[in-house]
Amino acid sequence: MRIRGMNLATFAEAYASGRRRVPTPTHVFLCVADHYEPQWNHASVDQQLARVDRWIDEYPNTVDGCADSRGRPPQHTFFYPIECYDAKHLDKLATLVRAGYGDVEIHLHHDDDNGDSLRQLLLESIQTLHDRHGLLKKDPSGQIRYGFIHGNWALDNSHPDGKWCGVNNEITILRETGCFADFTMPAAPHSAQIRTINQIYYAIDDPDCPKSHDTGIEATTGRDRPNDGLLMIQGPLVVKHERPWRKPSVENGNVARSQPLLGNRVDDWLRANVTVTGHSKWQFIKLHTHGGKPANADVWLSEEAKRFHNQLNRIASERDFRYYYVTANEMAKLVAQAERGIMEPDWDSL
């Protein structure tokens, strides 16, 4: 039995999170992970370019004047669907990255795939994004690294109907091709939702079975990372039941026209309490959106977004925490700092 995409145990855990007292972190890191699909709804080439141009033109005007505790503007990470590669899209997004407003990582939709073709597509795509567009970053060894979001939530062949992937060893392939972290979850109310929620952890792949990220090893201060694990950074998943006569609602960190960007959602994001185990004063909030949809772009590129950033500033002042807009890459590096027990973020090393 599943409720809003969750099995009973997961639903109960999300419900308990919704009743938790709001934690009191000292540092809050906010990342927006955009499943950015300009091609949404079979858009024409001209429509796609217009959608990208809108972000390039309007995002700076929307967020300029909004700043986090470091004085930095809101950051937006565009996870671009590599199966729909268009050089013009990425050239334009790269200008936004260079101007200091965010980053670009990897998104992928596929179906009935196999490991060899997946590996080839990933390697070719990350090389193109790096060499042609100046995107993605290299680690000290010289390997290009990337963050990942799976389309249709079906990471590691986890869709219950076996659709939208086909690769049981996907986690291994991601790790071997340079993925620094996966940002797909949560999926609820989609049926690809897994058991583990509100966690930062390492998925250990069973290459013969799907959904190896269902459970894993928690990221923990003072403990070495597993060599065969892929870092999973989840967003909030909280069940709210504020009025007995209404059905419970799900806070899953999605920002859309139907789930507006409002300051009154912040408490539930904090209640999810996504932290590195043993480092409770640093809290990680990963939101997601589909910013290629015009209705959702209306949310992010609006006065509503400006009001939210002002509300967040006020909430942080009232709750006495510092908050930081970070990219997906930066969030993963901050997780590593928390694992090392660092108490004040080392921004110079990011």
* Residue 69: CA count within 13 A, CB half-sphere: 18
Residue 127 makes CB contacts below 8 A (sequence gap 6+) with 144
Q: 149 - beta bridge partners?
A: 107
pLDDT at 246 over 80: no
Structure tokens at 350: 């990011």
pLDDT at 241 over 80: no
DSSP annotation string for 189-243 = TSTT--S--S-EEEEE--TTSS-GGGS-EE-BTTSPPPTTEEEEE----EEE--S
Residue 346 lies in a domain: no
**What is the percentage of the chain residues whose pLDDT exceeds 90?**
93
Helical (H) or strand (E) element with 122: helix 115-131
Residue 347 lies in a domain: no
What is the phi-psi region of residue 198: left when phi exceeds 0, alpha when psi lies from -120 to 50, beta otherwise? left
Distance, in Å, from the CA atom of 253 to the CA atom of 157, rounded to the nearest integer, reads 23
Residue 67 lies in a domain: yes
Distance, in Å, from the CA atom of 120 to the CA atom of 184, rounded to the nearest integer, reads 21
The DSSP call for residue 162 is S
Mean pLDDT, rounded, for 184-212: 98
Mean pLDDT, rounded, for 322-337: 99
Look up the CATH number of the domain holding residue 64.
3.20.20.370
* Angle (deg, nearest 10), helices 45-63 and 303-319: 40
Residue 349 lies in a domain: no
SS3 35: strand
Q: 238 - beta bridge partners?
A: 251
Mean pLDDT, rounded, for 314-343: 98
The DSSP call for residue 18 is H
Closest among 90, 99, 115, 232 to 166, alpha carbons compared: 115
Residue 350 lies in a domain: no
Predicted local confidence at residue 245, as pLDDT: 65
Residue 9 lies in a domain: yes
Predicted local confidence at residue 1, as pLDDT: 65
Backbone dihedral angles phi then psi of residue 266, each to the nearest 5 degrees: -60, -40
| Segments forming the whole domain that contains residue 50 | 2-341
Residue 286 lies in a domain: yes
Of the chain, the end-to-end C-alpha distance in Å amounts to 43
Residue 194 lies in a domain: yes
pLDDT at 92 over 80: yes
Q: Which of 50-64, 79-93, 237-251, 253-267 has the lowest mean pLDDT?
A: 237-251
Number of domains the chain is built from: 1
Closest among 158, 79, 150, 162 to 109, alpha carbons compared: 150
pLDDT tens readout for residues 142-163: 999 999 999 999 999 999 999 9
Structure tokens at 67: 């700043």
